[in-house]
Each structure stands twice: as C-alpha cells, then as structure tokens.
Amino acid sequence: MLPAALLRRPGLGHLVRQARAYAEAAAAPAPAAGPSQMSFTFASPTQVFFNGANVRQVDVPTLTGAFGILAAHVPTLQVLRPGLVVVHAEDGTTSKYF
C-alpha cells in the first residue's frame, strides 16, 4: 500500500482512492457445470486428456508447492512446474498425469 503522501495528486486537492475487485465472470461457475463442478480441458501437444469434462478438483504442481483448483475459487496466478497433475472426478475417482 502506498503512503498517503504518494496518493495525493497536486492540483486535485483530494486523495485518490484505490480499490481492488475481482471480475464477476471469473467467480461465476461455468455454464455447463454445477456449483461444485468446473468445466476442465487438459491436453498435451499430441493428445487431449479432458475436453470440457466436469470435475470436482484439479491439483497441479507450482513453484511454491502443490496447488488445488476448485470451482468458484478465488482467482490466483501461479507458475507451473513439471510434476504430477491429479484430477478428482465427481464420482470420487482420481486420474494422475505426469
């Protein structure tokens, strides 16, 4: 957060308010999925593993550790690293890809 002195703009005579908000579209569930589902597409350059499948959770490896992606989760940005991707289907089964 910036100090108040940096937020004051000369000549305006008031402080500039800063606000943080997330896009409503990013927080809304996918149209084909329910509230606890998300539409998931996962492919390599040579093969498609999932194409618009409804899944419950996807665990991916990142530079800061494993990261679970859920439907309607807070949008975040992570850098992926090589490792095990685990897809949790609605029926409770898991698929693992390396």
DSSP 29-61: PPTTS-TT-EEEEEE-SS-EEEEEEEEEEEEEE
What are the φ and ψ backbone dihedral angles of 6, each rounded to 5 degrees? -80, -20
Delineate the domains of the chain, giving CATH numbers in brackets. 34-98 (2.60.15.10)
> What does each of the 98 residues of the chain score in pLDDT, given as a tens digit?
556 555 555 555 556 666 666 556 555 555 555 567 789 999 999 999 999 999 999 999 999 999 999 988 888 899 999 999 999 998 889 999 99
Tokens of 28: 């809304």
Q: What is the pLDDT of residue 74?
A: 85
pLDDT at position 50:
94
pTM of the complete model beyond 0.85: no
**Alpha-carbon span 27 to 47, nearest angstrom:** 29
